[in-house]
Structure 1
Amino acid sequence: MYKLGIDIGGTFTDLVLLNETTGELIFNKTLTTYDNPTNGVIAGATDLLSRAGLQFADIGTVIHGTTLVTNAIIERKGAKTGLITTRGFEDVLEIGREYRYDVYDLQITMPEPLVPRTLRFGVSERVDYQGNVLTPLMEDDVAHIVDELVRGGVQSIAVCLLQSFTNPVHERALGDFIRKHYPEIYVSLSVDIMPELREYERTSTTAMNAYVQPLIDQYLDALRSQLTEIGFSGNLQIMLSNGRLTTVEVARQKPIQLLESGPAGGAMAGVFFGKLTGHTDIATFDMGGTTAKTSLIFNHQPELTNEFEVARVRRFKKGSGLPVRIPLIDMTEIGAGGSSIAYVDKLGLLKVGPESATTESGPACYGRGGTQPTVTDCDLLLGYLNEDYFLGGSIQLDKSAAQRAVEEHIATPLGISVREAAMGVHRIVNENMANAARVHILEKGHDPRNYSLLAFGGAGPVHAFDVARLLGSPELIIPVGAGVTSALGFLVSPTASERVRSYVSPIARLDWARLNDLLAEMEEEGFHFLEQTGHKSAEATVTRMADMRYMGQGHEISVKVPNGILSTLSMAELEANFSEEYQLRFGITIDNAVIEAVTWRVMVSSLPVFFSPKRANIEQKRIEGGKDFSGLKGYRQVYYSGDTVPCACPVYDRYQIRPNEYLSGPAIIEEVESTVVIGNRAYVRMDEHRNLIISLKR
């Protein structure tokens, strides 16, 4: 049986085909078709299956991740959306937390709500913090408001009532009314999307879900229809932002959970390759066309968070975006990708990013109309990339166009050579990425020098060696299929369901019967979901977490909760787990302070997928004999950091390097999906799974 992973990225669509019986992998990478992303998916999959000698009917499972949700919110291309909330709370989306992300900016611009004021209505109802109904919901009031929204042309309605997470009766009644009288209108209820406290975040997340739901619903419906038309009859699954898989039906109801589905695949690939290579602690480094992302894999588990921002006014300024509260893998992102633009600012300083070349034109060397110098242009001029073998030769790079762009916009204004300009860009972008990764790791209470770096993405292996050196990483790992690793991560991710409930109480005063009932209900819902997707409950794993804090604090940290029936005997373990996590994050604990639990989370998951990856025979291009090294292709003039003259760098074909062979840097290793650049004082070994393990001498 075969599984196909599909990751639609900002520049390329990546595809990975897995033979579940043999572990053989076949990769493909094609340009993303922005007018209709499905076209790129079908074209790329058709080409991949043709090379494998297969038909769509041979595929048992397709697993898909996409940036469509993020792009729709950033570009404001979602549906016309209305909001119904408790009367008096219509402006919560604009009031927010009254937080200024830049206290010194007198002309500060705050993110504009996805729902305009004219489409936000308050309904007469009230529920208190314990779930008691104080003011009943009036059906006549509901009918008038919904009619107003429909006449206003909305396609989707978000419903977020005050305290509904304690008693959802009014939200459910509103949802039932809309579905009964206006079945063509999409409805998002906060009790389904984010059933926990914090009114602003809950309203923002629910409105965001409603905003993208029509788009994603139609897209997934069209994708499944097109796959069916060309012979696919298997199971279509969707990657979520927390690194777990779900069904198309759930994704259509809660599309906001797809917000970071692509990057989550990369993190889950980090879990897989960590186990495969025997590394328990790994920092993943995913560098694509527009951004670079780093996440932590600690003891074979990704770091999770529930807080995120999207569509920031200032892209990398915390607090300048729309908050969304969903379970997702914690990662840091900076505007450093292959298409990031380099420029000289008003002070005469060389800068890189965060702006990127458009996806249509790309870097200047792509020959599609781009004229601004980018990171890829500089990599080409330094000799790191092969102009005749980019994506296996499917894209011919124009070196002269790259040189003109760098010379005009950087070298001439700064009065330096083109080589110096290109090296300056390369060093700046590496420093920026290493600094971002270092801060992210330190903020988690960990030492970057204890983490091996797993690098992937189209541009990741080109820059990873210098980034790893700057971080002090002991080893650099370049996995098999590094250019399409996120799509491979989809194939090794488990199917899971995470349920959330708010129950605020000091640990010492918890109603243990109520808590056990709450946890049991969430577990039962999770087991039911897995059974519906064809997984056995007996093989499922249950993970419990609680968001906890010292009483009086405004934010929580996630703490492990033991499985089984909880009682007063569990209190000591909960408090110990909280203190351990708090100490790790902040370096202290507060004696005699009351510990309070806020939100409880239960994830029921299938077993993770594990296999021994092999490159499919059709991808092997080994040429035996006739060379002093089995993978040597030749030599190329390459500039490394600090070089004033190029070195004659050996270039190797990754497909011809044998398992357990060694080589030393400097070296360049080429494959279709990516290029690996290795500097001096490093030893490279290809392991038995065809991963490159690079030992770094300090």
Structure 2
Amino acid sequence: MSGRLGIGVDIGGTFTDMVVLDDSGIIHVGKVLTTPDEPARAVEEVIRQTLGRAGIDPGDVSGFVHGTTLVTNALIERRGSRTALLCTAGFRDILEMAREHRYDLYDLMLEMPDPLVPRWLRFDVPERILADGSVLRELDTAYVEQLVTELLDHGVEAVAIAFLHSYRNPRHEQQARRIIERIAPHLRVSLSSEVVPEIREYERTSTTVANAYVQRLVKRYLDDLKERSAAIGLPRPPHIMLSNGGVATLDTAGEFPVRMLESGPAGGALAAAAFGKASGTPDLMAFDMGGTTAKLCMIENGAPMVAHDFEVDRIYRMKPGSGIPVRIPVIDMIEIGVGGGSIARIDALGLLTVGPDSAGSVPGPVSYGRGGTEPTVTDADLLLGYLDPAYFLGGEMELDLEGARSAIRKRIADPLGVSAEEAAYGIHDSVNTSMANAARVHAIEQGKDPVGQPLFTSGGAGPVHGAGVARALGATTVICPAGAGVISAAGFHTAPLAFDFVRSTHAALDTIDGQAMRREFAAMEADGERILRDSGLRGDEIFHRHAAEVRYVGQGFEILVPISPDSADWRVELKENYLRQYELLYRRQGPDVPLEVLSWRVVSSGPAPDQSLRRPQNAGSQPKEARKGTRPAYFPALGGYHPTPVYDRYALRPGTRVDGPAIVEERESTLVVPPESECVVEDDGTLILRLLSPASSTSQDGAPR
């Protein structure tokens, strides 16, 4: 053990993962089943188990970063507070009117997610601020006072306030909050002018409502987490992973919980970016598959791509517009409901379908022996021989192979008239195809070509399916880091303290006052410095990145481009950056039309930690022989089950080459090396799997060379 000692904990839908890191990299890992009824309990359990097993005193831990899917799950499952919405008079139905757009023009049974606030709790408040920030009608304070009393009578716990054009003038929202705090100080209040101070009424209102809806739940969870951390003996409370790839204090995360929506998945993308930079592969695809979902993110120039639009609780997972929009900075990734716990079934058309519902950790897949009856992806992978029933979680959890076989035969194979093994491979291959199709669409939307891009694979189920997804995408290289099953928790420690700010100032580019623009940036920088100084950073450690949302005059949507506000030629630079980005996205040059700016953005950040994510060779067991034995594994290209060598990853030395078919096992995940492929061990323990052409020669026994 050397230097600083940090831990990362990631709560997923099925497992809660943990890593312990020092200056040399990942030195210990832990994994326990998630406790959905009380998430912090699993966090405490995995910390106590892992530190105890490693003989580490909790008081020696210098940093703790945590990521969770709590906010996403609360919105999907509707487990938030009873929330009221205060709108400008005439705008109470904005949540249902939305964009007045049908995401599927020809679907006569079109569905939309139910608003988080029912109509009887949405109120027209007499007030009006105009688009330039001037006041047309003062706030009716007497109306707000009476309304607050009525809200208390109806058990309201949170209030979202989203008045028209408050991004230009927040005075009325602030007045309303002061009234609420005076009459009902226990109510949670979210202002749109603080949560998302930018143009577009529907998105701003929806985001503010989501923030208010989960605030009490998240605050209760963070308080519980803080208390349990102190009880364990950790010297400092945790930092929380945000969706944008930065981390924040508990107080900041509790005030803006909507920014934690993609908290957990962000870690996998950050880990992929760190590995890509370290290995000289700055452009790649990050594929993370856990127990509930699979995610894919494009990594460009050593950093994950970031978007400012996100949807949660989509009615149709591949149809933008069918979910609840949340306007926050978020690592841009595609997520589909196929993970190890995803349930397979025969649909109404007699076809095999997998997910999006998951068995989770309770009851879990059939093979867990915890009461599950529906076959899942994990059950299929077990039946195919890709998983060892006696070595799941390093042998701490034995899987029921015959239970999995029986469930797949009864629910899938017999109705389709195929063998249980063919049904299991159908489940496995369906997941690979679904993820590859989604990833292909996502890459193309980003102006990227997925063919030939290396695939970084992580999550407990990611290495099992990585080669299949890569083949379907046309990729030839799969990167599998040591500790792949928990690498998201390690990725948290590559993230700096950071926060995003936005100010909307709709104006034609040629008419913008440069001094006014710089004042807007300076105000956001000051907010960022205040938050980061409160988090413990010094002023000389804080830096700011500036950007603008730009579009052609008359267009409906904009493109985010960087800007140097102190440059004398900032207009020319901004226009050149916009035209370059436009051509990259749309593969054509734009028209000769003037540009306009909708919003200015600032990312205030501290220094990124210089954290290694490699796993030293002394981590884990060190058997004398790398080859553990042989077991039958199912490969259609070889006619079905084939005697397949199994290797202990901890014993594979740098430079070792394993030819497929083969299976490489570690405690938290398993890498499947298919026929017509080879796997090479890098100096840092990373496995590089290369998919070869059918003409390539491979060793038939998979022996390492």
TM-score of the aligned structures, taking structure 1 as reference length: 0.96
Alpha-carbon distance in 2 for matches of 1:623, 1:359: 31
Aligned to 2:280: 278
Tell me which of 528, 534, 537 is aligned to 1:535: 537
Aligned to 1:420: 422
Alpha-carbon distance in 1 for matches of 2:386, 2:303: 33
- Please say if 1:179 is aligned against 2:174: no
Contact 1:119 1:152 in 2 (8 A): no
Aligned to 1:16: 19
Superposed displacement of residue 394, structure 1: 1.5
Summarize deviations over 1:145-194 as a string: whole Å, max 9, x none: 22222222111111111000001111111112222332111110111100
- Please say if 1:685 is aligned against 2:680: yes
Superposed displacement of residue 326, structure 1: 0.5
Contact 2:12 2:292 in 1 (8 A): no
Aligned to 1:260: 262
Superposed displacement of residue 661, structure 1: 2.1
Superposed displacement of residue 642, structure 1: 2.7
Aligned to 2:454: 452
Q: Choose 247-256 or 226-235, whichever is displaced more.
A: 226-235
Contact 1:500 1:601 in 2 (8 A): yes
Aligned to 1:441: 443
Alpha-carbon distance in 2 for matches of 1:347, 1:110: 24
Superposed displacement of residue 293, structure 1: 0.7
Alpha-carbon distance in 2 for matches of 1:331, 1:617: 32
Aligned to 1:649: 644
Aligned to 1:497: 499
Aligned to 1:380: 382
Contact 1:281 1:450 in 2 (8 A): no
Q: CA RMSD in A?
A: 1.6
Superposed displacement of residue 601, structure 1: 0.8
Alpha-carbon distance in 1 for matches of 2:85, 2:92: 8
2:566 aligned partner, one-letter code = I
Alignment of 1:657-672 (within 5 A): 657-672=652-667
Contact 2:14 2:360 in 1 (8 A): no
Superposed displacement of residue 318, structure 1: 2.3
Superposed displacement of residue 348, structure 1: 2.7
Aligned to 1:210: 212
Superposed displacement of residue 510, structure 1: 1.1
Tell me which of 220, 231, 235 is aligned to 1:229: 231
Alpha-carbon distance in 2 for matches of 1:3, 1:204: 36
Summarize deviations over 1:608-639 as a string: whole Å, max 9, x none: 22333454687431133xxxxx4111111111
Contact 1:63 1:238 in 2 (8 A): yes
Closer, same or farther in 2 for the Cα pair 1:613/1:160, shift >3 Å?
closer
Aligned to 1:572: 572
Aligned to 1:638: 633
Alignment of 1:186-201 (within 5 A): 186-201=188-203
Summarize deviations over 1:278-298 as a string: whole Å, max 9, x none: 211010001111211100110
Secondary structure of 2:75's match? helix
Alpha-carbon distance in 1 for matches of 2:96, 2:190: 20
Secondary structure of 2:637's match? coil
Closer, same or farther in 2 for the Cα pair 1:52/1:358, shift >3 Å?
closer
Contact 2:44 2:232 in 1 (8 A): no
Alpha-carbon distance in 2 for matches of 1:48, 1:664: 34
Alpha-carbon distance in 2 for matches of 1:171, 1:459: 47
Aligned to 2:700: none
1:639 aligned partner, one-letter code = Y
Alignment of 1:280-295 (within 5 A): 280-295=282-297
Superposed displacement of residue 538, structure 1: 2.6
Closer, same or farther in 2 for the Cα pair 1:115/1:425, shift >3 Å?
same
Contact 2:617 2:685 in 1 (8 A): no
Alpha-carbon distance in 2 for matches of 1:641, 1:287: 23
2:606 aligned partner, one-letter code = S
Superposed displacement of residue 358, structure 1: 4.8
The number of equivalent residue pairs is 690
Contact 1:620 1:656 in 2 (8 A): no
Q: Which runs of 5+ in 2 are unaligned?
A: 694-705
Aligned to 1:98: 100
Aligned to 1:585: 585
Alpha-carbon distance in 2 for matches of 1:507, 1:580: 17
Summarize deviations over 1:635-655 as a string: whole Å, max 9, x none: 111111333242211110011
Alignment of 1:139-538 (within 5 A): 139-538=141-540
Alpha-carbon distance in 2 for matches of 1:358, 1:233: 32
Alpha-carbon distance in 2 for matches of 1:25, 1:295: 27
Summarize deviations over 1:552-593 as a string: whole Å, max 9, x none: 11111211112x4145x2212111111111111111232211
- Please say if 1:134 is aligned against 2:136: yes
Superposed displacement of residue 680, structure 1: 2.1
Alpha-carbon distance in 2 for matches of 1:2, 1:612: 12
Closer, same or farther in 2 for the Cα pair 1:219/1:541, shift >3 Å?
same
Alpha-carbon distance in 1 for matches of 2:613, 2:488: 15
1:63 aligned partner, one-letter code = V
Superposed displacement of residue 514, structure 1: 0.6
Summarize deviations over 1:409-458 as a string: whole Å, max 9, x none: 22212222222212222222211111111111122111112421100011
Secondary structure of 1:639's match? strand
Secondary structure of 1:154's match? coil
Summarize deviations over 1:650-670 as a string: whole Å, max 9, x none: 110011111232222221100
Aligned to 1:600: 600
2:16 aligned partner, one-letter code = T
Summarize deviations over 1:72-125 as a string: whole Å, max 9, x none: 111111001111111111111121112223333333332211111221112221
Q: Choose 323-332 or 120-129, whichever is displaced more.
A: 120-129
Alpha-carbon distance in 2 for matches of 1:541, 1:129: 32
Q: Which runs of 5+ in 1 are unaligned?
A: 625-629
Contact 1:579 1:589 in 2 (8 A): yes
Q: Choose 586-595 or 385-394, whichever is displaced more.
A: 586-595
Alpha-carbon distance in 1 for matches of 2:76, 2:369: 27
Q: Percent identity?
A: 46
Alpha-carbon distance in 2 for matches of 1:478, 1:119: 50
Alpha-carbon distance in 2 for matches of 1:24, 1:286: 18
Alpha-carbon distance in 2 for matches of 1:112, 1:695: 46
1:369 aligned partner, one-letter code = G
Contact 1:364 1:370 in 2 (8 A): yes
Alpha-carbon distance in 1 for matches of 2:614, 2:469: 28
Alpha-carbon distance in 2 for matches of 1:584, 1:448: 15
Alignment of 1:40-55 (within 5 A): 40-55=42-57
Contact 1:26 1:616 in 2 (8 A): no
Alignment of 1:83-122 (within 5 A): 83-122=85-124
Superposed displacement of residue 537, structure 1: 3.2
Alpha-carbon distance in 2 for matches of 1:591, 1:121: 44
Aligned to 1:620: 620
1:667 aligned partner, one-letter code = A
Alpha-carbon distance in 1 for matches of 2:486, 2:360: 21
Superposed displacement of residue 690, structure 1: 1.2
2:591 aligned partner, one-letter code = D
TM-score of the aligned structures, taking structure 2 as reference length: 0.95
Tell me which of 669, 678, 685 is aligned to 1:674: 669
